[in-house]
Amino acid sequence: MAKRRLGQKQCPKCKNWIKGPRTKTCPKCSHEFQPKQKAVAAPKAASAVVAAPAAPAKPANTVTIDQIKAVSQMVKTTGGFGRLHELLGLVKEVGGLKKFKDLLEAMEVGNGSEAKS
């Protein structure tokens, strides 16, 4: 098995290992390396292209003021950060938010019928 050499490439002409991934020529034999070709996507049919409305680009890892307010309200409602961490641990233990929501809805249906009796 060949040894993996990170940050180096081998000259196909003289088989010499050259340091530096951005090297354009071999210092020993002056062989010029060809740049990597970028993959070109097949052009789409004009009828298949649908113009999407221009939505403002929003990075996925940003936090909004509304999100901060919602989390703050949840901390107050649950009784502090410790209780909220317990709740998040329970959601993870149950198998995710969707399962947790389904369980809450099932419990709410049972609870509602008992309250009317």
Look at 93 and 33; give whichever has higher pLDDT: 93
User: Residue 11 — pLDDT band, cuts 50, 70, 90?
Assistant: confident
The mean predicted confidence, pLDDT, of the chain is: 76
Tell me how far apart the terminal alpha carbons of the chain are, to the nearest angstrom.
Answer: 75
Q: Could you report the per-residue pLDDT of 33-87, keeping only the tens digit for each?
A: 777 776 665 555 554 555 555 556 666 778 889 988 998 998 899 899 898 888 8
Three-state SS string across 1-68, please?
Answer: CCCCCCCEEECCCCCCEEECCCCCECCCCCCECCCCCCCCCCCCCCCCCCCCCCCCCCCCCCCCHHHH
Percent of the chain with pLDDT over 70: 67
Q: What pLDDT, on a 0 to 100 scale, did the predictor assign at position 87? A: 85
User: Which pLDDT value is given to residue 117?
Assistant: 44
